[in-house]
Copies of this chain bind each other. A is one copy, B any other.
Amino acid sequence: MSISMRIARIRPAEVRLAEENAAFLRAMGIVTIHLQASPGAGKTSLIQRTAESLSGRLRLAVIQGTLSNQSGVTHVHAVDLPVVQVNTGEQPYLDASMVREALEQLPLADVDLILIEEIGTLTLPTEQVLGATLRVAMASLPEGEDCPVHYPGPFARADAIVLNKTDLMAHLGFDQSVFHQAVRRVNGNAPIFELSCRSGEGIEPWSAWLLEQARDRQL
């Protein structure tokens, strides 16, 4: 079975475009985070909490992938920061050219950190490249302790891992140590941030990590 023929392969032109994105952003001193998670894991909530937490410390912007072209869809709005929504149409993931077009719509001279919210899925093509500085994979408690083993790709490639919805711990009988073991089976080093976008608990260490990433790269 020629599976490899059936996967959307990244064209060389796309890789060049991603490299150009990366070089351009590096020159601007802007750190970009490519955030990947399942639908409902809390990507938008994390962005809102992060923006609140980093307000006055880092200037944020958001590029947000969406499949929906319906009106009334709720998105990042509770915080005052530049957001470019990208409707990816039939293609269920962002690509480097979409990110480039979105960057052109942002006030980049006034931005330190861009959070790129991927379409919600843990099963992106493995070679997908946008030119982002860092990759973050997020899971949430209802997805189960062994989610990183069932869907290893995003967790294996991540520079940091977020576990959201810790406020549901008592109701779900979730064992954090099992989740940590599952992460370590696919990723030996990435820091793991446990937090609740609902309560705000655990947001500060995550924000501090982002701040550190931005400062390391701007000096």
Q: Kindly identify which residue among B89, B144, B152 contacts A67, using a CB–CB cutoff of 8 Å.
A: B152
Chain B residue at smallest Cβ distance from A89: B3
Chain B residue at smallest Cβ distance from A164: B142
CB distance from A132 to the nearest CB of B (A): 18
Q: Kindly identify which residue among B39, B124, B126 contacts A143, using a CB–CB cutoff of 8 Å.
A: B39
Bound complex: CA A124 to CA B67 (Å): 12
CB distance from A118 to the nearest CB of B (A): 10
- Chain A: residues with Cβ within 8 Å of the partner, total of 51
Known: A91-B3, A121-B123. A153 touches B40 (CB 8 A): no
Q: Kindly identify which residue among B119, B123, B141 contacts A92, using a CB–CB cutoff of 8 Å.
A: B123
Bound complex: CA A112 to CA B118 (Å): 40
Q: Kindly identify which residue among B11, B38, B66, B68 contacts A40, using a CB–CB cutoff of 8 Å.
A: B38
Which A-B residue pairs are the 8 nearest by beta carbons?
Answer: A40-B143, A92-B123, A142-B142, A121-B123, A38-B38, A3-B91, A121-B121, A40-B144
Subset of 10 A-B contacts with CB under 8 Å: A1-B97, A38-B121, A39-B150, A66-B150, A67-B153, A70-B185, A72-B149, A120-B123, A140-B142, A142-B165
